[in-house]
């Protein structure tokens, strides 16, 4: 049954009718977009940097086997341990094994999309370990029992009032929507959690093969505390995060903060290369890196889609996507939403991916135009559409849509010959004219009614392009 398809359709409709949510989405994504444009515009060689980033990622993916082994060698040489996880189950079981071996009953976690992808929190809670999110946005949605709705702004869908109510209910804070008081309350509670946790779990923005270094970019300082206060640090790292050299960071650390939040640089950039050394004051006694595959090698094997693994999770494609800006992140289903989610989710989370994902795009190209690593998102979407239709993309099949198919066949026939095109558009223009009242088309019938539900349909131009062209030619003679 088309269970996920139906859930997706229903969740999208709910989101469209949720006016406060649409207001938040419009406001926040527009602000991110403006900041990104200003920050990118201030770097003279921005386009050259994007091209260099694309090349580095392509190089890393082409030799991922080599760079992954080199990364492991360097981590081990600096006193860390590397664990390989082929699946989500293996990844979360690995974290649980490390926690059990150290007798940890609480872990603090900085923002990590991989940990969301493998559903670490639910699993580790059932195993008797309490996970505490320490990124403010993640902390808010953990209190609400929800999942992130945006890659870099997980609680984007929550209003200030909703956060105030959550803090009142869960932290016992008298109701206030004063942002400073709310963040101070979270900060105080989280400081206690950092000290009580036996394990710190993080993700990674980059993993440098040359040096075995984990690089984490953040604004709140919670990732630095999560990785240095508990005695044991576990980094959950998707294998696609590996880059060849430390010097490559000059490119990515210029692009990522500007493209994500419009900042020239994030407040904190942490470089973690093995556990604390004898002469160092801070840092964990143990560093474990769990290298997660979970569908990534399948995506890598698909030559026409593999560039999706270049993503550095800046979130910019979500902010400019007309679909994401209308329905938000939760409607998509899997943890990765928006244009990049439509590319990677069928591989990384096929169990919760609706078959609609490659189709929920107007292919306008806005996503590709802002992508800092130049992923050709529309082309990969078209490729995945083809795979969905021929059944080679392993997701729930789309329900049979006979009327849609018949319509597309008619459309194809009309578009394949000059005569068919002329006749079809002649009929269409006459049909549209019959619905024109007072110079506007405010209501279309039957299956076309959706076009006029919330706006007018454009009135056909008085003359077609062909008619104008003929007139032009006659005038020249």
Residues that bind ligand SF4 (CB under 6 A): 151, 311-317, 340, 370-373, 375
| Angle CA 359–363–367, to nearest 5 | 110
Query: Which of residues 233 and 313 has its CB atom nearest to ligand SF4 in the complex?
Result: 313
Is-contact 110 218, C-beta < 8 A? yes
CB of 199 to ligand SF4, least distance (A): 28
Work out whether strand 106-109 and strand 130-133 pair parallel, antiparallel, or are unpaired: parallel
CB of 271 to ligand SF4, least distance (A): 21
CB of 277 to ligand SF4, least distance (A): 34
Is-contact 259 36, C-beta < 8 A? yes
Distance CA 473, CA 201 (A): 70
Give the H/E segment covering residue 131: strand 130-133
CB of 214 to ligand SF4, least distance (A): 19
Burial class (CB in 10 A: 0-12, 13-18, 19+), 430: exposed
Distance CA 438, CA 44 (A): 51
Query: Which of residues 144 and 382 has its CB atom nearest to ligand SF4 in the complex?
Result: 382
Query: Which of residues 129 and 207 has its CB atom nearest to ligand SF4 in the complex?
Result: 207
Query: Which of residues 70 and 138 has its CB atom nearest to ligand SF4 in the complex?
Result: 138
CB of 11 to ligand SF4, least distance (A): 21
Burial class (CB in 10 A: 0-12, 13-18, 19+), 219: middle
Query: Which of residues 158 and 374 has its CB atom nearest to ligand SF4 in the complex?
Result: 374
Query: Which of residues 275 and 372 has its CB atom nearest to ligand SF4 in the complex?
Result: 372
The pair phi, psi for residue 156, each rounded to 5°, is -55, -30
CB of 152 to ligand SF4, least distance (A): 9
Helices (H), ranges, 103-152: 113-117, 120-126, 136-144
Distance CA 166, CA 116 (A): 21
Query: Which of residues 137 and 315 has its CB atom nearest to ligand SF4 in the complex?
Result: 315
Is-contact 236 290, C-beta < 8 A? yes
Query: Which of residues 91 and 375 has its CB atom nearest to ligand SF4 in the complex?
Result: 375
Residue among 221, 202, 219 nearest 260 (CA): 219
Burial class (CB in 10 A: 0-12, 13-18, 19+), 475: exposed
Query: Which of residues 40 and 314 has its CB atom nearest to ligand SF4 in the complex?
Result: 314
Express the helix, strand and coil content of the chain in percent, nearest 5 each: 55, 10, 35
CB of 374 to ligand SF4, least distance (A): 8
CB of 16 to ligand SF4, least distance (A): 23
CB of 48 to ligand SF4, least distance (A): 17
């Amino acid at each position: 049954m088309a269970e996920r398809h139906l859930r997706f359709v229903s969740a999208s409709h709910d989101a469209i009718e949720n006016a406060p949510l649409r207001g938040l989405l419009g406001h926040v994504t527009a602000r991110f977009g403006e900041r990104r444009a200003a920050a990118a515009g201030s770097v003279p060689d921005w386009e050259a940097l994007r091209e260099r980033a694309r090349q580095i990622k392509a190089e890393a993916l082409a030799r991922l086997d080599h760079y992954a082994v080199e990364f492991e060698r360097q981590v081990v040489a600096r006193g860390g341990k590397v664990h390989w996880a082929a699946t989500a189950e293996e990844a979360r079981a690995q974290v649980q094994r490390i926690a059990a071996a150290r007798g940890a009953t609480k872990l603090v976690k900085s923002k990590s999309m991989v940990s969301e992808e493998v559903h670490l929190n639910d699993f580790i809670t059932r195993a008797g370990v309490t996970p505490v999110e320490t990124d403010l946005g993640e902390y808010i949605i953990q209190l609400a029992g929800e999942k992130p709705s945006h890659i870099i702004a997980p609680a984007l869908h929550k209003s200030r009032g909703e956060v105030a109510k959550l803090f009142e209910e869960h932290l016992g804070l008298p109701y206030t929507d004063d942002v400073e008081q709310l963040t101070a309350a979270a900060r105080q509670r989280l400081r206690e959690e950092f000290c009580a946790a036996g394990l710190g779990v993080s993700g990674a923005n980059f993993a440098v093969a040359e040096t075995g270094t984990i690089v984490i970019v953040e604004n709140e300082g919670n990732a630095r505390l999560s990785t240095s206060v508990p005695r044991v640090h576990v980094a959950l790292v998707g294998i696609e995060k590996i880059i060849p050299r430390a010097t490559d960071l000059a490119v990515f650390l210029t692009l990522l903060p500007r493209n994500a939040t419009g900042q020239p640089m994030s407040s904190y950039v942490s470089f973690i290369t093995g556990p604390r050394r004898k002469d160092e004051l801070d840092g964990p006694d143990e560093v474990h890196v769990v290298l997660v595959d979970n569908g990534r090698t399948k995506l890598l094997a698909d030559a026409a889609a593999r560039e999706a693994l270049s993503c550095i999770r800046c979130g910019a494609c979500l902010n400019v996507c007309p679909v994401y800006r209308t329905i938000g992140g939760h409607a998509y289903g899997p943890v990765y939403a928006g244009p990049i989610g439509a590319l990677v989710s069928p591989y990384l989370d096929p169990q919760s991916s609706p078959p609609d994902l490659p189709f929920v795009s107007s292919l306008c190209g806005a996503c590709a135009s802002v992508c800092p690593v130049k992923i050709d998102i529309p082309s990969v979407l078209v490729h995945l559409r083809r795979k969905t239709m021929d059944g080679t993309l392993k997701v729930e099949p789309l329900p049979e849509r006979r009327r849609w198919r018949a319509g597309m066949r008619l459309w194809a026939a009309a578009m394949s010959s000059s005569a068919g095109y002329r006749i079809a558009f002649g009929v269409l223009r006459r049909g549209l004219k019959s619905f024109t009242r007072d110079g506007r088309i405010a209501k279309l019938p039957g299956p076309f009614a959706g076009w006029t539900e919330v706006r007018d349909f454009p009135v056909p131009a008085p003359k077609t392009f062909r008619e104008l062209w003929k007139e032009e030619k006659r005038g020249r003679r």
